[in-house]
Structure 1
């Protein structure tokens, strides 16, 4: 197409002059049908390039709230109901689709393979609420604390029956001792014993004050992993999958003590196996390169967090946790704060309320430890309320093991 012809027609159209095909044909020595074709082509091009103004999404003002709630693992329906009360007028399907796309986007972000530095970091997580039944059908519910040094892949595992903050501190101190020291930084999941969820927002985690003080005393920098980014703690995520090796012990003969030993043995086995990432035994790489890079454990600073003057809230089952096991008190103390101390001979845990000794138990590795009088009081207040003393004592003698499972 002749450029002078197109430019002439375009000039008239920009000045809103209605094209005169015959006059333009005489001016540019062209047939009027050619002029008409040029006009139509220019008009079509202008329609294609015309900027389309998109109407803002009804969801736009609520996206920041959605991100915060997704960080707390809220469902799309729960978020939809929540933002409806904040003024959202759109549909549930829009919220559901956005939540799905956002999660997929976060999970599928490219992850750069990191070369770890000896002694720089560790990764922490829990394998939560595992369940195994022994050969007698007794169900054991437990957690496994997971700690790994990503450079050497050296691991520390231990069994716990709760995931309280005191238990976390105790497990960390044990891990520091088992691995020969403390790294410069430790990566944690979005666990409530570490993160203050009431003050945190998506992408900006705030550590709770007691945990932060513990990290300062232990001289490590805590780092919160990104939500929906399991890759940021890949070493401990892989370890969490590995502890599924305990599953074959389902319905095998074991008790609580055996279960603790199984986890300890698994930890030792994993440290002796050749790592697929390094092609070396974690024990060898840790001993040769990493152990000397860790700084020493300040035992005197950390011990008060979990050993001396231990405070506990008595649970609704009239029990307190100590060293992975539970010990009974009178149910009248349910909901009250008590203090635990280890006896001078280190064989008993003594439980105090308002500085008065209310119970002393021999320290064991059994999951549940009941005092006989506490057991009667517990049954009298709940399961056998209104029954006479003889009935309760008969029940205890025949069914105490069954009551343990209750």
Structure 2
């Protein structure tokens, strides 16, 4: 079975939780509506990212492949070294131009492989990553606020507030709109990116209609709005849609 991009994004957000043991394959299968064997296949070390091919049909070379031996050497010296530290060293000492997300994806495959070389059992490695923290620039959370009819006296029936909060620093961005349509939604994102001076690696949303194409029952795969997928692809961030009935998933922006 080959996953379409929407389902791949839906499944990929569970990788970190799965690797730390916080969620099981069965729970992920139930959450996404996918077969348990399919979930295992696409969360395995060999399936870090969807296979992409160049025009000649051969696998496309990744920027991170050039520094892969250096990353492997750092892991052999310190298997628990953080991805952010590795990325910083690559940039400062070796002139690496790729972003942190590329290193992070490579580490998902490389760390278990190097651990096996060092004789570290998978359950021991999982124990080393039990803490699930957000590093700077890794995540932001988005939400809408309804400001009601505060400008009704000047002929504006409704006012909304758009909020984006960086999960690590809690740096907030807010702007006010008179619409929640797609164009306004994406324009608010651009203003937030300008405010923060960059784009986070992933953005957490609830099941808003500007991100989710239609609502589905708990346990079924969430179909993402194609415009949201295209926007995320253009700015190179991951769309992370909260599972149903998980109100604490956006605690930073809700507060």
Which structure features the higher share of strand residues?
A: 1
Give the greater-gyration-radius structure (CA): 1
TM class by shorter chain equals: 0.3 to 0.5
Per the normalisation by structure 2, the TM-score is 0.45
Return the structure number with greater relative CO, CA threshold 8 A, min gap 6: 2
TM-score normalised by the chain length of structure 1 = 0.29
